[in-house]
Amino acid sequence: MDFLLPADQMAMLLWGLRTTVLLFTVAWVGAFALAVILVTVRATEYRPCRWIVDAFVAYHRNVPLLVQVMFWYFGMPEILPEGIRFWLYDHNAEFSLAAIALALGSSAYQAEDIRSGLRAIPATQFEAARALGCNYLQTMRFIVVPQALRISLPPLVGRALLLFKNTSVAMAIGVAELTYRTREIENMTFKTFTVFGIATVLYLLGTFALMGLGAWLERRTTPGRKERRHA
């Protein structure tokens, strides 16, 4: 790759990619876990729980991600206890706060995707399972959730793609991820097309890899895939 960029700059760029992937992974895991919690809480009959979840989702859907990131980076430390604040500033606060903002933002959307998957399962499926003697948890575990996840999978993959791309927003608060490094190296070298070209290809590889993973998961979870192979 030396003919494109000197090795040290290339290394900087790849280090940026590493941060991007790390940020994405941390944020996605957090977002998915939180989304499951949100859906569970939302499913309770207790009204204030629903309102809180709905408000949480509405906030994150209607406020730009950049503003959410800024809010966490500039605003939140103010109200954090001093100990935590200093600990954060000592430990790459940009990365942690960006990851929190990204995770919260994505969880709101993922919760909606999971919820609409659950709602797409006809009540008769639930009744059929109960009629066979399954209890609530067994019904969810064996009948409802597997079907719902399959319905939710395509939108969830789409969300993951968006999250991967949205990690670039973290550059605005100084997280040294791929876009940040790209700009930095462009500033140093003025090799605009080369640097942006490489970064673009790296992003495309990332999204295509995620798409491939999504397609693979979708194939794996399609019922009757083995029968069809013989047809």
Partner 1 sequence: MLEIISNYWLTFLIGQYPNGPLGGLAMTMIVAVLSILMSFPIAIGIAMARLSAWGWLRMASAALSSFVRGIPLLMLIFWCYFVIPIMTGYAVSGFWTLVAALTIYEAAYLSEVIRAGMAAVPKGQTEAARSLGGGYFLTLRSVVLPQALFNVLPGITSQFISTIKETSLGYVIAVNELTFAANQVNNQLLTQPLQVFTILAAIYFLLCFLLSRGLSALEFSIRRKRGLI
Q: Fill in the amino acid letter for 39.
A: V
Which region, judged by CB under 8 A, interacts with partner 1, from 21-29, 56-64, 95-103, 143-151? Answer: 56-64
Which region, judged by CB under 8 A, interacts with partner 1, from 11-19, 63-71, 93-101, 212-220? Answer: 63-71
Q: Based on the number of CB atoms within 10 Å of its own CB, is 190 exposed (0-12), middle (13-18) or buried (19 or more)?
A: exposed
Quick one: tokens of 46?
């207790």
State the minimum distance, in angstroms, from the CB of residue 3 to partner 1: 21
Contact indicator for 189, 9 with CB cutoff of 8 Å: yes
Coil, helix or strand at residue 222 = coil
State the minimum distance, in angstroms, from the CB of residue 159 to partner 1: 13
Identify the CA nearest to 104 among candidates 55, 60, 52, 48: 60
Estimate the crossing angle of helix 93-119 against helix 47-62, to 10 degrees: 120
**Counting contacts by CB under 8 A, is residue 123 touching partner 1?**
no
Pick 76 or 151: Cβ nearer partner 1: 76
Helices (H), 73-168: 82-90, 93-119, 123-131, 136-138, 145-166
Which region, judged by CB under 8 A, interacts with partner 1, from 11-19, 22-30, 135-143, 204-212? Answer: 204-212
Site for partner 1, residues 161 to 200, rule: CB under 8 A: 165-169, 171-172, 179, 182-183, 186, 192-193, 196, 199-200
State the minimum distance, in angstroms, from the CB of residue 186 to partner 1: 7
Site for partner 1, residues 70 to 89, rule: CB under 8 A: 70-71, 74-76, 78-79
**Counting contacts by CB under 8 A, is residue 207 touching partner 1?**
yes
Backbone φ and ψ for 64, nearest 5 degrees, come out as -60, 145
Pick 7 or 79: Cβ nearer partner 1: 79
Pick 152 or 168: Cβ nearer partner 1: 168
Calculate the dihedral angle through the C-alpha atoms of 224, 226, 230, 231, rounding to the nearest 10 degrees: 20
What are the residues binding partner 1 (CB under 8 A)?
A: 58-59, 61-68, 70-71, 74-76, 78-79, 165-169, 171-172, 179, 182-183, 186, 192-193, 196, 199-200, 203-204, 207-208
